Amino acid sequence: MTGHALVIGETLVDVVMGPDGTAAHPGGSPANVALGLARLGRSVDLLTRLGEDANGALCAEHLQASGVQIVPGSAGAHATSVATATLDASGAATYDFDIAWDVSTAARLRNAPLAVHTGSIAAVMEPGATTVHRIVSALRYTSTVTYDPNVRPSLMGSPDEARPAIARMVALADVVKASDEDLAWLFPDSTVDDAAREWAHAGPALVVVTRGGEGATAFLHDGREITVKAPAVEVADTVGAGDSFMGGLIDGLWEANLLGRDRRAALRDVDATEVGLILRRCTRIAAITVSRAGANPPTRDELDAD
């Protein structure tokens, strides 16, 4: 399939504090998804918000070096946002944020992307979240919608406060990816699998739950469930792991000719074997990412050589 994808959401600098010291890496969940898609050879536009500062220049250079097209009008924020990630002994990250999110009225989008992706802070934090929902709603008539809630409790309040905004994005989406930790936080009175099944019955063609080193499960709207294991890998850190999986998921659906409005019915009827193959490839992409520092997803050549 030709065409392009549009990713909407925050770009920020991850300041990673670990046992070996402190390092700064460009990041932000949607920006990481765009980066992963571009490294896999896809044409991808990123509608984001950057300050005209050193951090903004660092992020823009990082994204553009891998082929991400930053949507005109994305610059002009008061400052580029920062997330401080503190690593524990296993390499798992917890975050603190200095972030503001909106969407510039000066942004200019290309027409009719095959897929539009959003998630995390951009779909919840105002004033930008309302604009994101409006854009995604309009594009649903031409594009496959993918969504990753990628919850950040320190920014999203309580689960009760976060669920309405997340639920309205799930209702728009064709494909949802969430971690088991996301679902456990959002639905403390339910099991992770039951929460995923409920989402799968609410509109998406499939809901994919990632389980870290244990692998992933796809819950299809018709009740089918497909589980794959993750490859064993030595973990440097988990920064960007879920985002690289999400980029791989979009890329896999692209490769299978399942993106775009005209392929929505085919996506809902997707073969379970096809889903399993896509998920296995996604877990390989995530495994490569966690084997090295920061949100550093593989290129297509690296993936093919792995």
Alpha carbons 170 and 101: distance in angstroms, whole number: 20
Residue 1 confidence (pLDDT): 60
Q: What is the pLDDT along the chain (306 residues), one digit of tens a residue?
A: 689 999 999 999 988 777 777 778 898 999 999 999 999 999 999 999 999 999 999 999 999 999 999 999 999 999 999 988 787 877 777 778 889 999 999 999 999 999 999 999 999 999 999 999 999 999 999 999 999 999 999 889 999 999 999 999 999 999 999 999 999 999 999 999 999 999 999 999 999 999 998 999 999 999 999 999 999 988 887 778 999 999 999 999 999 999 999 999 999 999 999 999 999 999 999 999 999 877 789 999 999 887
Contacts of 60 (CB under 8 A, 6+ apart): 50, 70, 75
The domain made up of 5-305 is a member of CATH 3.40.1190.20: yes
Alpha carbons 257 and 296: distance in angstroms, whole number: 26
Q: Please name every residue paired with 82 in a beta bridge, in sequence order, or none if there are none.
A: 13, 98
Alpha carbons 204 and 5: distance in angstroms, whole number: 18
281 half-sphere exposure, CB direction, 13 A CA radius? 24
Domain boundaries of the chain, sorted by first residue: 5-305
Alpha carbons 118 and 170: distance in angstroms, whole number: 11
What pTM does this model have?
A: 0.94
Residue 275 confidence (pLDDT): 98
Query: Which is nearest to 149 in space by CA: 128, 125, 179, 174?
Result: 179
Alpha carbons 119 and 219: distance in angstroms, whole number: 19
24 half-sphere exposure, CB direction, 13 A CA radius? 10
Contacts of 147 (CB under 8 A, 6+ apart): 117, 118, 119, 123, 169, 170, 172, 173, 175, 176, 177
